[in-house]
Each structure stands twice: as C-alpha cells, then as structure tokens.
Amino acid sequence: MTQAHLVIRLATAADAPRLETIRADAFAPVFGSFRSILGDELYELAQAREDEAQGALLASILAPESGWEVYTLEQAGSIVGFVSLQLNQDTKVGEIGLNAVHPDNAGSGLGTAMYGFAVARMQEAGMRVATVATGGDPSHAPARRAYQKAGFTAEIPSVWMCRML
C-alpha cells in the first residue's frame, strides 16, 4: 500500500468510534498472544481485565483535559490509525502512548510514518527525549520494528512474570 494522500490531524470526539474499532482490531492478536503464552486460566486471572480496560483507556485519553494529544492517520479519506502523545514540559520528555494501525494496513509503512510525525511533534514542542513502551512477545514484533525504523534504538528489556498460587 502506498502512503499517498496521508493526512495526520488531531482527533475529535467524532473519531472515537473508528479509533475504538482500530484499537480493538489491532490489539486482538496481541491479547490472543498473551492468552497463548499464559494459558487460559492465568490469562483470565492476571491479564484479561487489563486488556478489556484498554477501550476505556482510549476513551480517557481522547478527553479534552487528559493531558494527551491524539492524532488520526488518514489515507485516501479513511482513518487507518492513531497515535497518542504526552509532552512533559517540565522534564522535556515526550511519550508515545496508546497507538495502532488497522491490521488491514499493517506492514505498509504507515506506522513508521505515524511515529515519525510523533517525533517531529515532540521536537516542535521542545522535548529532548522521546519514549515509547511496547511488549517483548512475538505479537509486538511489528511494533518494535516500526519504532526502530523511527529511530527508537535505546532499549531496556523488561519481563512480566506470573504464576498460579
């Protein structure tokens, strides 16, 4: 897929239903991966609530006073992705938060373009550092590649572990 007619703009309340669809579709394989890694019982007890709460997280960052900027990624007049940013003027650290590109558009370079925009927005706002967090499991490999293409190369690995009691 080409990146022709790519538009990135501030999200509005009217965009919320489409952004929720993109979020749900993009994260379904991630949540499936978590279930596969943990097994059904551990997943239900330790992870499912967090995954289910992600829709409410998206709604909260779209709120005008959330402290987040949310941008839509449009191609040929259709919203195909979104990215949220937090710009801390005290620390000069910008953070990419919840973001997604619809799976129908995965692997087309749109995520990399979106993250390039996010970094440019952070620079414009006077940030000195850009951060992003992502999973280390196989389902997050495409996101890690896109972040790396956008220049995120310093990494601190993290592992989340759990067990049944």
Q: Tell me, what CATH number does 116's domain have?
A: 3.40.630.30
How far is it, in rounded angstroms, from Cα 59 to Cα 68? 11
Residue 56 counted as domain residue: yes
Contact by Cβ (8 Å): 105, 126: no
Structural domain boundaries, residue 15? 6-149
Residue 102 counted as domain residue: yes
pLDDT band of residue 5 (cuts 50, 70, 90) is confident
Residue 159 counted as domain residue: no
For the cut 70, the answer to whether the pLDDT of residue 2 exceeds it is no
How far is it, in rounded angstroms, from Cα 39 to Cα 99? 26
Residue 156 counted as domain residue: no
For the cut 80, the answer to whether the pLDDT of residue 88 exceeds it is yes
Number of domains in the chain: 1
How far is it, in rounded angstroms, from Cα 146 to Cα 27? 16
pLDDT value at residue 107: 87
Residue 163 counted as domain residue: no
